[in-house]
Amino acid sequence: MDKNISFLTDFKQLTKFGLSVSVVISSLAGYLLAVAHVDYKNLILLAFGGYCMVGASNAYNQIIERVPDSLMPRTQSRPLPAKRMSVNTAMTIAVLLTVFGIISLYIINPKTAMFSAISVFLYTSAYTPLKPVTPLSVFVGAIPGAIPFMLGWVAATNHFGIEAGMLFMIQFFWQFPHFWAIGWLQFDAYKKAGFNMMPTGEKNQVATRLTIIYTIFMIIVSIIPVFKKTGDLYLLPITAIIIFILGLVMLYYGFKLHKEQTDKVARKLMLSSVLYITLIQIIFVVDKFLH
């Protein structure tokens, strides 16, 4: 029994259960935004296939980064650096998840499977290897990271158009302040492991200025649907105002970090970014059903 519990715990760590579930919720939000009537079979396939694909990405990532993970306190207890799981076992899990994920998403429609496969490929073959090489890895990683929200729309419509593009752009720009805040907080640990996630390579005001700029881009993109120029994706004015105010909270902490340059403020920016992306997905879906 203990071994089963231990394996389940390791599986959850290998696939980053919490992160994977949040990504799945993002995809489900995109799906609900696009449909008039929910097809529960496709919803279940999207949730299952989505978890498999994100879990596979995280497993491949941990296989590649098992040595640097052993150097960081935050990641030392993961199954591979802690030697509770072999590389072969982790690879078997990753491959099986990839296969199950692609099959599940292909049943919905081929485009959904294709975009998800692209996401796994970019995360594993571009973002992860670039992390020790250049801070530009964050830009590369923002592409697969922005796919989930729009993937739900593609799953619902079998079409990638301006609506899916807008959902992609919202999540794309959001990732920069989010990951730079994490990069700020984990700067020393990342440096010890050979990673540098800050855009300038340092914790300085140039980096925080870029954080502010990308937060402004995120706010602008998030409210563009209110102008009804984005196909079937649009927002009521009151909804756009709420989303704008939520964006201003992130922007406030961006400016505060620029001024104070402290870990305490960086943590508040990171937490406000998590709150932002969670709430706006809920708000977008609620708004859709108010039209």
pLDDT at 1: 44
pLDDT at 33: 94
> Are 219 and 286 in a shared domain?
yes
Q: Which residues contact 249 (CB under 8 A, 6 or more apart)?
A: 272, 275, 276
Q: How much is the pTM?
A: 0.91
pLDDT at 3: 57
Please list the ranges in the chain whose pLDDT falls under 70.
1-5
Token pair 């259960």 is found at 17
> Are 184 and 281 in a shared domain?
yes
User: 25 is in which domain, residue-wise?
Assistant: 1-158
> Are 36 and 152 in a shared domain?
yes
Give the CA dihedral 54, 60, 65, 70, nearest 10 degrees. Answer: 80
pLDDT at 139: 92
- Count other C-beta atoms under 10 Å from residue 69's C-beta: 21
Q: How far is CA 85 from the centre of its chain?
A: 26
pLDDT at 74: 86
**Domain boundary at 158, 177, 197, which?**
158
pLDDT at 192: 87
> Are 152 and 183 in a shared domain?
no
| Cα–Cα distance measured from residue 180 to residue 203, given in angstroms and rounded to the nearest whole number | 10
> Are 268 and 239 in a shared domain?
yes
Instruction: Give the CATH number for residue 123.
Output: 1.10.357.140
